[in-house]
A and B are shown apart, each in its own frame.
Chain A
């Protein structure tokens, strides 16, 4: 059974009288444990597709079944709960909370999920070690390099043990070496934690890590 089943997904934006079709009938399945790359040029609809899968946006039509539950059209609170417990996000610009240190940034989703303090401490210790930030755990985001910030974002995405991690251009703001290292870490976590990763990129070098590649062009899957 697919973790996620996407069927005939359309997304249109309205700019005045102009309607822009960002996604045109996308259908595919994501299996548990997948490591999927969504590839395509700028403006092809990669971010839109990831936002819809991550339930931070609603499609114009079509359905997304997450563990057999259609997440389109759910209430805002219900979608928040799904994002909190089942989905992790990694953003291109890291999007860390600037006033919190590394540990606190990672801890934030666990606090929202009402995890007990002892559980939180153990999980953060584990993740800080995993992403190699043990020596930086009390640093604020502005005291970290781009690669270190993205590792914090990865740890935060994984902290509530989600089924799915969505990463929108996670290497775009990093140099190629660091970008490759981040993808390698994501790949390792995919295997260690059995977490499904879906990430977008237009970096051809990272494609070799993907189990599946979905190529988008003009809002449609081309291969």
Chain B
């Protein structure tokens, strides 16, 4: 207790130096907390939002992925309802829904625009985020009309209830069009997504494309993403020899997983750099402090304090500084993470190009709070331990006669 008392009293009696060290630790911890919040937000965005959209498993018509045209309807799943039934019978499958994607020309009297058409099922569990992003109308509007984004509506001068023509190349290669009322307007956080997509019921899409009973993909949502491999193997067994490709979320998002790994590496390098800079500042400041007090330490040694005791005394100061600095760092970092968790950090086209929307939404986790708090303490402890090591190597006489 006397060591802690001396440590705390010394911190108070050297306010400027204490402030420098605590600021260095606080900045390091604050930066680490912010970076961790950002990267964890990306990871969280991936596991909640992107998997929500892509599903954990996709059953795709063989050959579709090799097509040069991403909107090609040449390869579609026949009897997809059978696949859905099979999938729903598997353990851990929460939802299985059909999707029919196609290229479409949206035509009004004045303008036309090319878009990705999405035939979806209104009962699908994958529609949650779309449903939440609707600003006018409702999701049920896909049954007899289309959903377009607010940006598309602005560009095409459309509003809820207006009629729009959708022109496609049908399954026989012939141009075909139908008129649809606008039954809903949505706005997501991704302007790229909004500019590109329109939605209608899969039945309407099948009629438009002349593809009765067909879908381009069946997406499966699982109760646990770790069940994906087992479920995919079951499906592969059930449809062995059939013209389908089954992909797990790891295969679907292979590039993004790599990106996450890269960001993990980035966070380690960034944290390492922060730790080195902070540790250098702290070690230097602690050393200066210790040399200023060398005679005091020499006196303590002269009256009987052992080297181990002196080491403990100095590192207790380091621990105290680390504790206070880490608290201050979290006080800096947590509000930043909370702010960007609520409002997002806008990276515009950069994050859009990775399919993550126009902004990164940070994520605050207890794990990183604890880790960064511990890191701050360890940085200070390492700096103090080095200073202590330098001091205890000196003889009692050297420290007593230090000038």
Which of B13, B295, B308, B400 is within 8 Å of A56, CB to CB? Answer: B400
Cα–Cα, bound, A95→B12 (Å): 20
Stretch of B129-137, B299-307, B326-334, B341-349 at the chain-chain interface:
B299-307
Give A87-128 interface residues, CB cut-off 8 Å to B. Answer: 88-89, 91, 93, 95-100, 104, 108-109, 111-113
Query: Which residues 257-297 of B have a CB within 8 angstroms of A?
Result: 295-296
Q: What residue of chain A has the Cβ atom nearest to residue B10's Cβ?
A: A99
Asked whether B2 is an interface residue with its Cβ less than 8 Å from the other chain, the reply is yes
* Given A83-B302, A89-B303, A113-B304, also A57-B397 (CB < 8 A): yes
The answer for the CA separation of A42 and B2 in the assembled complex, in Å, is 37
Q: Is the CB of A76 within 8 A of B13?
A: no
- List of B residues within 8 angstroms of A5 by Cβ: none
A98 touches B303 (CB 8 A): no
Q: Which of A57, A80, A95, A98 contacts B304 (CB 8 A)?
A: A80
Q: Are A83 and B13 neighbours in the complex by a CB distance under 8 Å?
A: no
A77 at the interface (CB under 8 A from B): yes
Chain A positions within 8 Å of B6 at CB level? 97, 99-100
Instruction: Report whether B13 and A98 are in contact in the complex, using a CB–CB cutoff of 8 Å.
Output: yes
A139 to chain B, nearest CB (A): 14
Q: Which residues of A contact B124 (CB under 8 A)?
A: none
B304: chain A residues within 8 A (beta carbon): 80-81, 83-85, 109, 112-113, 160
How far is B91's CA from A170's CA once the two chains are assembled, in angstroms? 87
CB of A56 within 8 A of CB of B396, answer: yes
Q: Contact: A111 with B2, CB < 8 Å?
A: yes
A112 and B397 CA atoms in complex are apart in Å by 20
Which residues of chain A come closer than 8 Å to B305, judged between CB atoms?
80, 84, 112
Q: Are B13 and A54 in contact (CB under 8 A)?
A: no
A190 within 8 A of B: no
Task: Assess whether A156 is interfacial by the CB under 8 Å rule.
Answer: yes
Distance between B154 CB and nearest chain A CB, rounded to angstroms: 69
In the assembled complex, the Cα of A155 lies from the Cα of B21 at a distance in Å of: 36
How far is it, in angstroms, between the C-alpha of A160 and the C-alpha of B9 when the chains are bound?
25
Q: Cα distance A84–B309 when bound, in Å?
A: 13
State whether A77 touches B306 (Cβ < 8 A).
yes
**Chain A hits for B309, CB < 8 A:** 112
Q: Does A51 contact B (CB under 8 A)?
A: yes
Q: Is B395 an interface residue, CB under 8 A from the partner?
A: yes
Residues of B contacting A95 with CB < 8 Å? 295-296, 298-299, 302, 400
Q: Contacts A91-B299, A95-B295 hold; do A100 and B9 have CB atoms under 8 A apart?
A: yes
In the complex, which residue of chain B has the Cβ closest to the Cβ of A96? B299
Q: What residues of chain A lie closer than 8 Å to B396, measured between beta carbons?
A: 56-57
Q: Mark B1-40, 1 if CB is under 8 A from A, else 0.
A: 0100110011011000000000000000000000000000
Separation in Å of the B320 CB from the closest CB of chain A?
13
CB atoms of A98 and B296 under 8 A apart: yes
Report the minimal beta-carbon distance from A143 to chain B, rounded to whole angstroms. 13
CA A95 to CA B309, docked complex, whole Å: 18
Q: Nearest chain-B residue to A112 (Cβ)?
A: B304
When each residue 132-171 of chain A gets 1 if its CB lies under 8 Å from chain B and 0 otherwise, what string results? 0000000000000000000000001100100000000000
Chain B residues with Cβ below 8 Å from A156 are 303
CB distance from B401 to the nearest CB of A (A): 9
Is the Cβ of A76 less than 8 Å from the Cβ of B299? no
Name B303's contact: one of A57, A76, A99, A108 (CB within 8 Å): A108
The 6 closest A-B pairs by CB, nearest first: A84-B304, A99-B9, A95-B299, A56-B396, A80-B306, A83-B304
Chain B interface residues toward A at CB < 8 A: 2, 5-6, 9-10, 12-13, 295-296, 298-309, 395-397, 400
List 10 additional contacts besides A84-B304, A111-B2; criterion CB under 8 Å.
A80-B307, A81-B304, A84-B303, A84-B305, A95-B295, A99-B13, A100-B6, A109-B304, A112-B305, A113-B304
Chain A interface (Cβ within 8 Å of chain B)?
51, 54, 56-57, 76-77, 80-81, 83-85, 88-89, 91, 93, 95-100, 104, 108-109, 111-113, 156-157, 160
Q: List 7 A-B contacts (CB under 8 A).
A: A57-B396, A76-B306, A77-B307, A95-B299, A100-B9, A108-B300, A112-B309
